[in-house]
Chains A and B, each alone.
Chain A
Amino acid sequence: MFTPKRLVVAAAAALSACAAQPTSAPVKAPAFGEPVSAAEIARWDISIPPSGAGLPAGSGSVKQGEAVYAAKCQACHGAKGMGKPADALAGGIDSLATGKPVRTVGSYWPYATTLFDYTRRAMPTTNPLSLSNDEVYAVTAYVLYLNGIIGESAVVNAKTLPQVKMPNRDGFVNVSK
Chain B
Amino acid sequence: MERKNRVAREPESRMPTGDLSPFRKIDRRTFLVRGAAAAGVAASAGLATGASAQDLAGHPWERVYGAGFTGYGQPARFEQPVMRHIVRPYGDLAPGSGAALSPIESLEGIITPSGLHNIRSHSGTPDIDPKQHQLLLHGLVSRPLMFSMDALWRYPMTTRIYFLECSGNSNRNLVPKPAQVPAGALHGNLACSEWTGVPLRMLLEEAGLLPQAKWLLAEGADSAHMSRSIPIEKALDDALIALYQNGERLRPEQGYPVRLLLPGWEGNMSVKWLRRLKATEGPTHTKDETSKYTDLLPDGKALQFTFEMGVKSVITRPSSTMKLPRAGFYEISGIAWSGAGRVRRVEVSTDGGASWSDAVLHGEERPKALVRFRLPWEWKGQPAVLQSRATDEKGNVQPARKVWQARYAPDNRFHNNSIVSWSADADGSVKNVYA
Contact = CB atoms under 8 A, between A and B. Distances in A.
Given A49-B280, A101-B411, A177-B231, A172 B302 contact: yes
B225 A173 contact: no
B144 interface: yes
Interface of B: 90-91, 93-94, 97, 122-123, 136-138, 143-148, 151-152, 154-156, 202-203, 205-207, 217, 219, 223-225, 227, 231, 233, 275-276, 278, 280, 282-287, 290-291, 294, 296, 298-307, 409-411
Interface stretch (A5-13, A34-42, A59-67): A34-42
Interface in A19-59: 29-36, 40-41, 44-50
B294 A118 contact: no
B225 A122 contact: yes
Interface in A127-177: 128, 171-177
A137 B283 CA distance: 22
A144 B148 CA distance: 40
B261 to A, nearest CB: 19
Contacts of A31: 206
B144 A41 contact: yes
Contacts of A125: 93-94, 97, 123, 223-224
Contacts of A172: 290, 294, 301-304
A121 B122 CA distance: 13
A176 B305 contact: yes
B278 A47 contact: yes
Interface in A83-117: 85-86, 96-101, 103, 105, 108-111, 113-114, 117
Contacts of B305: 174-176
A68 B94 CA distance: 21
Contacts of A41: 136, 138, 144
Nearest to B306: A175
A11 B287 CA distance: 67
A96 B300 contact: yes
Contact of A122 (B146, B152, B224): B224
Given A32-B151, A47-B284, A172-B301, 11 more contacts: A34-B148, A35-B143, A45-B138, A49-B285, A96-B301, A96-B302, A105-B291, A109-B291, A122-B225, A125-B97, A177-B231
A109 B304 CA distance: 12
B210 to A, nearest CB: 15
Contacts of B307: 176
B286 A117 contact: yes
A31 to B, nearest CB: 5
A82 interface: no
Given A128-B224, A172-B304, A30 B155 contact: yes
B304 A34 contact: no
Nearest to A27: B156
Contacts of A40: 146
B409 A47 contact: no
B287 A114 contact: yes
A111 B282 CA distance: 14
A34 B143 CA distance: 9
A47 B299 contact: no
A122 B302 contact: no
A128 B227 CA distance: 15
A45 B410 contact: no
A175 B143 contact: no
Given A76-B93, A96-B300, A36 B224 contact: no
B291 A33 contact: no
Q: Which of A32, A113, A117, A128 has the most CB of B within 10 A?
A: A32
Contacts of A110: 285, 290
Given A47-B278, A85-B91, A113-B285, A34 B303 contact: no
B284 A48 contact: yes
Contacts of B207: 33
A33 B224 contact: no
B206 A33 contact: yes
A176 B265 CA distance: 12
Given A34-B151, A171-B302, A175-B303, A122 B136 contact: no
Q: Which of A44, A76, A99 has the most CB of B within 10 A?
A: A44
Contacts of B202: 30
10 contacts: A32-B147, A33-B206, A36-B145, A111-B285, A114-B291, A117-B286, A118-B287, A171-B300, A173-B302, A173-B303
A48 B287 CA distance: 11
A172 B217 CA distance: 19
